[in-house]
Amino acid sequence: MKISLKKAELESMELSAVLNFIREISANYQPVLYSIRKEYRKRLGLPEETNDKWWDEITSEKLEDEGIFGDIVLNKNKDILFYKIELYEKCIQIGFIGNNVTEDFDSFFKTISELADKYFDKKVVWTANEYDSEIKHVIDEQSCTCNPTEEENELSIILEDEKTRDFLMKIKDITSASITSIFPKDELSSLAPIVDMFEKRQVITKDFVVLCSKTGQPILKVSSKSALEETPQGANKCFICGNPLSKETIDEIVSCSSTGKKFIEHGYWLQVRIIHALEKAGIKSDQVRLWVSDNDITYMFSIINGQSFLFVLADNKVTIEDIYKIKLYVESYNIDNVLLISTKNIPLVIKKYIENSSTEDVSFNFIETLNSIDDTIELFIIERCSAYISKLLSSFITFTPVKINELVIESITNTIPTVQKAKKHDENKIDEIEEMPVEETTTKKGKKGKKPEMIELDI
């Protein structure tokens, strides 16, 4: 899904100029809302009137009453092009909503901008709907990007398994130790595939040590069991008890390689995993900026379709202090959407705190499992973008008896194959994302907060 917007703020805007502006747009494009109103008139048996007369009457009425008017245009791919005029705010907004921004938007923008120059100002200045440049500059200056390799992506998927991850956590700070001294004997057989897999990926190094059966002291260290057969003549006996080496205890020595330490420290594996999920959702890694805090919580910032997103990654227990910091970032950088991804259960007291202090300006969501994380994150982004589209087109509802914003969302999301695929997952997957309800409160923007219901993923 792609959303592209441009906006122009004018010094003056007269009603007569707006009507001429709209009339000429309708001569170049077939407006959807105009067509809907015309069809309703026909079905109600009302007499047909000339387009210009009826168009001027309804347009003039809406502009005087609401101060807002606009319409929607479809291109050949059924993507949405729209324009919106706010008479009293003296601004024009145009936009594209579809799966890929096409040259149709450039053509549409050229037509609109030429008409704006003609009817309003000699030269209208247009701005893209981008994140505040000053805030973005601060984030970019204090953060970094993460560009994982394909091998790192594969390893991050492997580390989703908690048992596999715990194994690496236990050995990451050990220089060289016997595997039997770290793990109970009854777990060794189940750990063998993990050890082999990590060794093949050069995440750990593995050696073998021969222990004296009498004293337990190490007497020889080799890189493989086969190397014992290649020991020089006379060196194949224990120098303490004299037993043949083949009769002595052979134990595995494991240690973390530099790759293993890099992955398990500071939650790097989780950073890679979420970057990979975002890339599958169409968000390039260079669109995501990362901060890693002192307690190894990672903050990922991204601008997606004109909205600011904060992904918070925690590979440990989330504390109330962490939530304070998240809320500080949200307020400081005007974050629209927050997704807290934790590998541990988030305490209920923290959820309640967020519930009682949130506002309608920010969507705050949780994921407490990595099951189907790719689909879950993609659905989260689509849901938030759909809510944004609904807000963009909400004023159009007054121009037609049809809830046009809901139909636009359905037309766009139904063309995204992964959405249809994700809908087929069992319904329990919906519990993986929970939007905290919001108590009614006055926000910093002076709006009255409502109490939204659980996020509906089946859009």
CB atoms within 10 A of CB 433: 19
Task: Evaluate the CA torsion angle 217, 222, 224, 225 in order and state its sign.
Answer: negative
Task: Give the span between the Cα atoms of 264 and 261, in whole angstroms.
Answer: 5
What is the mean predicted confidence (pLDDT) over 305-310?
Answer: 89
- Strand runs (DSSP E) across 194-352, as ranges? 204-211, 218-222, 249-256, 288-292, 298-304, 307-314, 337-342
Among residues 167, 191, 185, the alpha carbon closest in space to that of 249 is found at 185
Q: Which residue has the higher pLDDT, 238 or 330?
A: 330
Task: Give the span between the Cα atoms of 95 and 154, in whole angstroms.
Answer: 38
Task: Give the span between the Cα atoms of 360 and 450, in whole angstroms.
Answer: 6
The predicted pLDDT at position 414 comes to 64
Residue 150 tokens, joined: 């394909």
Write the CA distances from 410 to 46, 306, 390, 413, integer angstroms: 31, 20, 11, 5
Provide the H-helix boundaries in 281-403.
320-332, 348-357, 373-392
CB atoms within 10 A of CB 215: 11
Among residues 285, 306, 436, the alpha carbon closest in space to that of 3 is found at 306
Residue with the two structure tokens 């998927």: 157
Q: Which domains does the chain have, with CATH numbers?
A: 2-129 (3.30.310.200), 135-148+266-435 (3.40.1350), 151-262 (no CATH)
What is the mean predicted confidence (pLDDT) over 46-67?
Answer: 64
Count CA atoms closer than 13 A to 372's CA, side-chain side: 20
Residue 442: DSSP 8-state: B
pLDDT digit string, tens, across residues 90-112? 889 998 888 777 788 888 899 99
| Residue type at 314 in one-letter notation | A
Those residues with Cβ within 8 angstroms of residue 194's Cβ, 6 or more apart along the chain or in another chain? 163, 164, 167
What is the mean predicted confidence (pLDDT) over 53-72?
Answer: 71
Residue 140 tokens, joined: 């970019």
pLDDT digit string, tens, across residues 386-441? 888 888 888 777 666 667 777 777 776 665 544 443 343 333 333 333 444 433 33
Contact criterion met (CB below 8 Å) for 309 and 335? yes
Percentage of the chain with pLDDT > 90?
Answer: 15
Task: Give the span between the Cα atoms of 164 and 172, in whole angstroms.
Answer: 13
The predicted pLDDT at position 360 comes to 73
The predicted pLDDT at position 274 comes to 96
Residue 66: DSSP 8-state: H
